[in-house]
Amino acid sequence: MKYKEIEKILNKNPLSVAIKLHTDTFGYPPEFHGRTRIGDPVLAVEVHKSIAKGEPYDEYVPRVQQNEDGTTTISEL
Amino acid sequence: MPRKCINLESQPGFQEIYAPNMQRAIDEGLSGYSGTGVVDWGYNQDEVVKPPPRIKDERTKPRRKRKDFSRTINESWQANRVRRLLFEAEETGNPKGIFSEAIISGLSNKGLDFLARFLEANPLNSIEWHGNKKKSSSFNRKSQGSGRPYKTTLIMMRGGKKFISLTARHETGHFIDYILGLMLSSADSRNPNYFFSDLSPSFGKAFQNEFDRLGLGNKKTRKEFIDSIVEDLVAPVQKLNEQGLDLDINEVLDEASGVMDIVDALTGGAWSLRGHGGGHGTKYYSLKDQLAQGNPRFHETFANLFEAWSSKDRKSWQRMKKYFPELTKEFDKMMDVYADPSTIFKKVT
């Protein structure tokens, strides 16, 4: 089984469909914040909701955040 | 089984024994046999049938027995030790103890032993659960002013049990990477944002060796390598599905998410660019802030190696070894020391 055939299968998963639709609509893929699951149907719904609102999906949050109390929080995802 | 006879009354501390039922049973058992048949307990049992009154004292006050600490059938004592240590962390957004159950369910015995010894020396501060589908799980460290150690927090997104267990090991991997870094050198003497994986020259070398060995600097060989991994994982599942089974390919890829994540880290996001989900993405792996914040590619690789190494599923480490021999060799070398039960971790937090 060649990768091209596998890709046809992967392209059918909910997240692949949502990513493709997002790319077709806005010209670039959605920006995820952190680790995602292959084919994640829950995330796919969020991307679809964003497309329906006419807003690109971009949940990017910087790894370093300044807190109100003057401290800093750094994240690894 | 050989039996040994001892002179009970001459044993140290014998006179302090107070267990009326047991003492009576011994007395009754001995009566009519050789010797006097009477044990000198140091007092007349008939006079002390009732237990002495308890004196209320804060120091001797029994602690409330926690249901959460009871061991389940076939559970090792290390598992219960990890549960007890994680119970010390503040846990919000879910009933206390959910995180420990999630991580214990997926850890091997060596993983449990390692984590218990590790947490004993360097406890985790807090665990925060959330249900925001747009917000990922993460390991956070928050500065608390100069000279004070960072506050460590695991942020966990609620979800399916199996995936949570995987994520719990992954985020704990980041925590371990961070603390091991502090063990290598004090945060005051270098950039406090660096992890063990940033500071260890041999880990960086293994990462580079793997990159070179797989030819990931070349676009064509990079594509071929990623294709070959997916083919390896998906083709057998598809074959079984053609024979009438209904297996979910995404679930199979979920099992190997650590492998795909390392591919993503090694290639700076090449897997996530394929648009099927999985991995962290190109923005996350951008190295523009590497000097200030450490190398996210190293951090993710370490966390995924720990996730597989500590897994109850032995195949997950075998899979890692197959695809990343240089990285797993280096990790095994490190764990030969840290996973040795006689190793005592330095307290650095």
Q: Quick check: B144 and A71 CB within 8 A?
A: yes
- What does the CA dihedral B196, B202, B206, B207 come to, rounded to 10 degrees? 40
Q: What is the CA radius of gyration of chain A?
A: 16
- What does the CA dihedral A5, B325, B278, A39 come to, rounded to 10 degrees? 40
List pLDDT tens digits, range B85-98: 999 999 999 888 89
Q: Quick check: B235 and A23 CB within 8 A?
A: no
Q: Quick check: B136 and A35 CB within 8 A?
A: yes
A12 and chain B in contact, CB less than 8 A: no
- Which of B254, B273, B283 is facing A60, going by the closest CB pair? B283
Range of the domain at A50: 3-74
Share above pLDDT 70 across residues of chain B, in percent, rounded to a whole number? 87
List pLDDT tens digits, range B132-169: 888 889 999 998 877 677 899 999 998 888 889 999 99
Instruction: Count up the domains in chain A and report the number.
Output: 1
pLDDT of residue A9: 87
What's the full length of chain B, in residues?
Answer: 349
Domain B67-338, CATH number (from 3.80.10, 3.30.70, 3.20.20, 3.40.390): 3.40.390
List pLDDT tens digits, range B199-245: 999 999 999 999 999 999 999 999 999 999 989 888 888 888 888 88
3-state secondary structure chain B: CCCCCCCHHHCCCHHHCCCHHHHHHHHHHHCCCCCCCCCCCCCCHHHHCCCCCCCCCCCCCCCCCCHHHCCCCCCCHHHHHHHHHHHCCEEECCCCCHHHHHHHHHECHHHHHHHHHHHHHCCCCEEEEECCCCCCCEEEEECCCCCCCCEEEEEEECCCHHHHHHHHHHHHHHHHHHHHHHHHCCHHHCCCCCCHHHHCHHHHHHHHHHHHHCCCCCHHHHHHHHHHHHHHHHHHHHHHHHCCCCCCHHHHHHHCHHHHHHHHHHCCCCCHHHCCCCECCCCCCCCCCHHHHCCHHHHHHHHHHHHHHCECCHHHHHHHHHHCHHHHHHHHHHHHHHCCCCCCCCCCC
pLDDT of residue B205: 97
pLDDT of residue B182: 92
What's the full length of chain A, in residues?
Answer: 77
Q: Quick check: B303 and A31 CB within 8 A?
A: no
Give span(s): CATH 3.40.390, chain B.
Answer: 67-338
Nearest C-alpha of chain B: how many angstroms from A52?
16
Contact list in A for residue B283 (CB cut-off 8 A) is 31, 60
pLDDT of residue B67: 53
Contact list in B for residue A61 (CB cut-off 8 A) is 135
Q: What is the mean pLDDT of residues B175-204?
A: 92
**pLDDT tier at B45 (50, 70, 90 boundaries)?**
low
CA dist B254 to A35, B198, B325, Å? 12, 27, 21
Contact list in A for residue B271 (CB cut-off 8 A) is none
ipTM of this complex: 0.91
Q: Quick check: B272 and A36 CB within 8 A?
A: yes
pLDDT of residue B134: 82
B238-246 own/partner pairs: CB under 8 Å, 24+ apart: B238/A1, B238/A5, B238/A6, B238/A9, B239/A1
Q: Quick check: A36 and B279 CB within 8 A?
A: yes
**pLDDT tier at B71 (50, 70, 90 boundaries)?**
low
Interstrand relation of B126-130 and A72-76 (parallel, antiparallel or unpaired): unpaired
Please give the structure tokens belonging to residue B156.
Answer: 């966990």
Q: What is the mean pLDDT of residues B43-59?
A: 57
Residues of chain A falling short of pLDDT 70: none
Which DSSP helix (H) or strand (E) runs through A73? strand A72-76
